[in-house]
Amino acid sequence: MKKMFSALLAPLLLLTGCGAGGEGYRQITQQEAKERMDAGGVLVLDVREQDEYDGGHIPGAVLLPLGTIDETSAADTIGEKDAEVLVYCRSGNRSKQAAAKLAELGYTNVYEFGGIMTWPYEVTTE
């Protein structure tokens, strides 16, 4: 009976997005985010406002302010629904909201890694 219960429970947990509390995205550390960036093939999404972005952002990050995220802006910025997207903001609050919004829109490979205030790696204004 235990084996049967475990066999039924495992796929159910995978379908509910475990690892993110059911929000549909995954939270990772900044170190994990940096490793993914260094490996390539990811979109780094800054969800702050333009003036914050201009003041300093992660190199290669694309700006998509939280308040502008909808089906059209996400499709224009991200493209494929299975693209790997790493989301950050200033402190981690807006990035969680943005990651949840992207998951609601059907994006399946979204990772939230907090805010630039604690980012220990390179930042640029270019």
pLDDT at 28: 98
**Does residue 1 belong to any structural domain of this protein?**
no
Number of structural domains found in the chain: 1
Q: Looking at residue 61, which CATH number applies to its domain?
A: 3.40.250.10
pLDDT at 20: 43
**Does residue 105 belong to any structural domain of this protein?**
yes
**Does residue 72 belong to any structural domain of this protein?**
yes
**Does residue 41 belong to any structural domain of this protein?**
yes
Is there a catalytic annotation at residue 18?
A: no
**Does residue 7 belong to any structural domain of this protein?**
no
Q: What is the pTM of this model?
A: 0.82
Q: Which long-range contacts (CB under 8 A, 24 or more apart) does 72-75 make?
A: 74/102, 74/105, 74/107
**Does residue 38 belong to any structural domain of this protein?**
yes
Q: Decide: 87 and 111 in contact? Cβ < 8 Å.
A: yes
**Helix, coil or strand: residue 110:** strand
The alpha helices in the chain, defined as continuous H runs, are 2-15, 30-39, 50-55, 71-77, 93-104
Range of the domain at 94: 17-118
Among 85, 89, 99, 103, which one carries the catalytic annotation? 89
**Does residue 61 belong to any structural domain of this protein?**
yes
Tokens 């796929």, located at residue: 11
Mean pLDDT by 10 residues, the chain (126 residues): 42 39 84 98 98 98 98 98 98 98 98 98 96
Task: Please give the Cα distance from 50 to 72 (Å, whole number).
Answer: 19
**Does residue 12 belong to any structural domain of this protein?**
no
